[in-house]
Structure 1
Amino acid sequence: MKRRSMLLNVAFALLLSVMVPIAASGAEDTPQFTVQSGAVSVSGDAPVAANPKALAPIEVDTTSIIAATSRAKSLAREQGVSVDSGGFLAKGLVSVIVTFDETTNAQEVAAAVGGEVMVTYERALNGAAIILSPGKLKQLGKTSGVTAVFANELRQTQTSVSPQFIGADEAWEELGGQGVAGEGIVIGVVDTGIWPEHPSVADDGTYPPPPPSWTGTTCEFGSATPGDVPFACNNKLIGATYAMPAYSGSGLLLSTEFVSARDDNGHGTHTATTAAGNGGVAASIFGVDRGFVSGVAPRAHIAAYKACGDLGCFESDLIFAIDSAIADGVD
């Protein structure tokens, strides 16, 4: 478990490295970090308040948190999306990621500021995502047991690269060939979901069951959204989780989006198949033959975690997805 937690935390860091926040007018190019005397002082979109020892109340940077919420609203306007009146964005609330000490629980923290818990984290970190009034942010920093408060930024997905570009095809030869590359490994993909019928994630009958370390049971396909047909996971696509409490509760969820792990825009399917898509799959674009494609680890099992919608990914949902992946036994 310690090894998996370390790997998943590294994966989260890598994930954030290929996600970008919504552009803000006049924003700094690179956040600057300063560490001194055990305290943490940051700028940009890193933690907006931190006090690891919880020896004193936290001075919460309300400006950064409110600005993150404003950027999410601005993106919706730019995309011509009407924010749902039932979501926290339309209600004038903000969402934050809060960490606390081992003696404090999420419900106590939320109750102290009249807020609402969206999701609690148990493995990736000791904390929760909370919705509250902007006027209660200062009080949140003074709440007993709170150790850090983070703005819940809406991130944007980016693209990926090919096995040949990173030299994976050469590594295959050193590890026994493409036919065994990734065998017995469970790769967790946190993105926009997955299209389970895609040939690159099809089970051709040669895949063994997932390793004993895999304990996941979630396979969420089939919602009221047209086109979201049910699908049973198999020995290639072994799990699929809808992990979007903040996004679905924000008012940004479009009526055309799948309320399941099914991919809405193709980015998650592209990312998953780049990492672990079947080898030797015929590819074409608009009917034009593009040869055969393969993932970097074509024999690995895939577990998909949908934390990103059409308008982006709230950081609290990304953490929730990683927390779930650790619990499921992703490598």
Structure 2
Amino acid sequence: MVKTGLMTWLLYSTLFAALLLNSDAANADERKVHIVYMGDRPKGDFSAKATHHSLLTSVLGRSSSAQESLVYSYGNFNAFAAKLTEEEVQKFSEMDGVVRVIPNHILKLHTTRSWDFLGLSQSNVGAQLQGDVVIGLLDTGIWPEHESFNDQGLGAPPSKWKGTCQGANFTCNNKIIGGRYYNSENWYYEGDLESPRDSEGHGTRTSSTAAGDRVPGASYYGLANGTARGGIPGARIAMYKVCWSFGCGAADILAAFDDAIADGVDIISVSLGSVFPVPYDVDPIAIGAFHAMKYGILTSSSAGNSGPWPYSVSNYAPWTLTVAASTIDRKFVAKAVLGNGQAFTGLSINSFELYRKTYPLIWGGDSANYSAGASQDLSKYCITGSMNSYKVEGKIVFCEVLWDGTGVLLANGMGTIMADDEITDFAFNYPLPATQISTSDGEKILDYIKTTENPIATILLGETLTDYMAPYVVSFSSRGPNPVAPDILKLDLTAPGVDILTAWSPIAPPSIDWEDPRSVDYNIISGTSMSCPHASGAAAYVKAAHPDWSPAAVKSALMTTATVVDPNKHEDLEFAYGSGQINPTQAI
């Protein structure tokens, strides 16, 4: 499952480091996928595949070897992906006309109320030319049977559409008009589906946020109940599945851009990015978005979830629309109530009902699993595997750090109260009753545990509060300046990306526990991967009203009409929120 914020960064950084170590240790003669990028497509009668095959043959020596090596031949720009040795990479790098030879590095994956909060209510969405607009998403796939993708009332796809529906056990309709999948490395892990179908949840949520149909009565276990919809419910969706359990391959991303250009999309939405800054001519999103722009297609991209550090922004090419994540006017909380009547409100999307029944309350430090090598210094944080199930079973555990809840869950605990001040502006959903309180409140709970003979507690069902400070850019949202070209300002603007109700794949875990067995149709998620499709939907809304506008005109309309964000809430100012929060109705 895809996670957001701090946990995402730690998990994917570890994975990427492991990939680099494996790469360094590999034999130099081993063939690995590389992208040979040569810039614009040559003019005239030009067979891309034949030319690329000829180039490969000249280096590899045999036509059959070139055929086996070629992975993708891109047609809308001059590039191909092939399996090459280090020696062959060097030969291509020295050729005239070759801009870069790029390793197939792995990139990472970075609504009921949110559209109303932006002023784009159901009454003013309108139907003008919506069905002619196609949003292409590069993501983890899509769950086509979800009610958000009902095609009732939609006619046939627009005549410009040239795309296809690919793969077994996947069907398109008049809403989802295209589905493709790419995996140049042929890495598949348990749960990966070899089709455009989504097993992660990420692509389903981004698609529904941008262009999902109206669905009344949507909620996450009763939380955030209302009508779920995308920004432009009448638009068409084309899914390009480039991301899998391991991440998203650079060669696959370029192949998806190439197909999206040829298929006839109007807007491309990319909620993923590089792990660390790279030059434009090494970044597959920057390259793909550049050529898409030349064909009149705007690429909307997420800023990344590595904030609040400066220079952490991802997708900083000047020709992309780079989107930060900001709050809307609600937040999700859950109360922990002690046996002495004290109640503490913490951040949590708590879907579990204990019906106010109390349970024994213990401190994680008193439940160390010494036989497994754990100590009190570890178990007080409730780290997975550090807890003694004989001491935890049937109890609520107080933990001195924010964790995913699995340490208590696997030790058969009833719930967890976590004290942590690092995250204060968005909530997680957990696989058991849980809430995250402040460290100062945590000291009071620990004092209660240590001074009471039989401490008890309960955790109440999650509730919704009004956030009167909204909008402000959330802490995890990546910040500028531009790490490659500091004189080109990034970010561009901000959009809702905190605690957003959105469609979900029913086979993806609904909480931050990858092993959570529950199945849901809607989930509440935070991340710039949620703000990006808000901007993509807004861009499609503008494109529907002004079909002849260029990518630059659409981007300019969104930026110059953005709602001003209070600078007093952000010490990093425009490097946090860009030109402000999107305002779709003003942009048209």
Class of the TM-score when normalised by the shorter of the 2 chains: 0.5 to 0.7
1:66-125 CA distances to partner (integer Å, 9 max, x unpaired)? x99943858xxxxxxxxxxxxx999843322112373882213323343611101111x2
Q: Distance in 2 between matches of 1:169 and 1:253?
A: 40
Aligned amino acid, residue 160 of structure 2: S
- Unaligned segments of structure 2, at least 5 residues: 1-7, 61-65, 267-588
Structure 1 residue 110 corresponds to structure 2 residue 110? no
Task: Please give the TM-score of this superposition, normalised by the length of structure 2.
Answer: 0.37
Residue 268 of structure 1 is aligned with which of 200, 203, 219? 203
Structure 2 SS opposite 1:303? strand
1:75-94 equivalences under 5 Å are: 92-94=30-32
Q: Secondary structure at the match of 1:253?
A: coil
Equivalent in the alignment of 2:98: 146
For structure 1, which segment, 288-297 or 206-215, has the greater mean C-alpha deviation from structure 2 after superposition? 288-297
Task: Find the residue that maps to 1:298 and give its secondary structure.
Answer: coil
Residue aligning to 2:158: 211
For residues 138 and 91 of structure 1, the distance between their equivalents in structure 2, rounded to whole angstroms, comes to 12
Distance in 2, matches of 1:121 and 1:316, equals 10
TM-score by length of 1: 0.63
Structure 1 counterpart SS, 2:120: helix
**Aligned equivalents of 2:173 and 2:21: distance in 1?**
36
Deviation of the 1:150 alpha carbon: 2.1
Q: What's the counterpart of residue 246 of structure 2?
A: 311
| Contact map agreement 1:73 1:89 (CA 8 A) in 2 | no
Q: Does 1:169 align with 2:115?
A: no
The CA deviation at 1:146 is: 2.4
Q: Tell me the residue number matched to 2:134.
A: 186
Q: After superposition, what is the alpha-carbon deviation per residue over 1:163-221, rounded to whole angstroms, capped at 9, x for unaligned?
A: 356x2616x76xx53555833211111111110011111112x00211111122x2124
Tell me if structure 2 keeps the 8 A contact 1:178–1:298: no
Query: Identity across aligned pairs (percent)?
Result: 33
> Relative to 1, partners in 2 of residues 1:311 and 1:89: Cα closer, same or farther, differing over 3 Å?
farther
Who is 2:107 aligned against? 155
- In structure 2, give the amino acid aligned to 1:23: S
1:221–1:70 Cα change, 3 Å: closer
CA root-mean-square deviation: 3.5
Is the Cα contact below 8 Å between 2:33 and 2:185 reproduced in 1?
no
Shift of 1:148: 2.3
In structure 1, distance between residues paired with 2:58 and 2:190 = 34
Q: Secondary structure at the match of 1:316?
A: helix
- Is 2:232 the counterpart of 1:297? yes
Q: What's the counterpart of residue 196 of structure 1?
A: 144
SS in 1 for 2:226: strand
Deviations 1:14-52 (A, max 9, x none): xxxxx9995389xxxxxxxxxxxxxxxxxxxxxxxxxxx
Greater relative contact order (CA < 8 Å, ≥ 6 in sequence): 1
Gaps of 5+ in 1: 1-18, 26-66, 75-87, 223-229
Give the aligned length: 240
Q: CA distance change for structure 1 residues 180 and 221 in 2, over 3 Å: closer, same or farther?
A: farther
Q: Which residue of 2 aligns with 1:220?
A: 166
Contact 1:196 1:262 in 2 (8 A): yes
Residue 109 of structure 1 contacts residue 143 of structure 1 at CA under 8 Å; is this kept in 2?
Answer: no
Inter-partner Cα distance in structure 2 for 1:318 and 1:239:
16
Is 1:71 aligned to residue 20 of structure 2?
yes
Is 1:242 the counterpart of 2:188? The answer is no
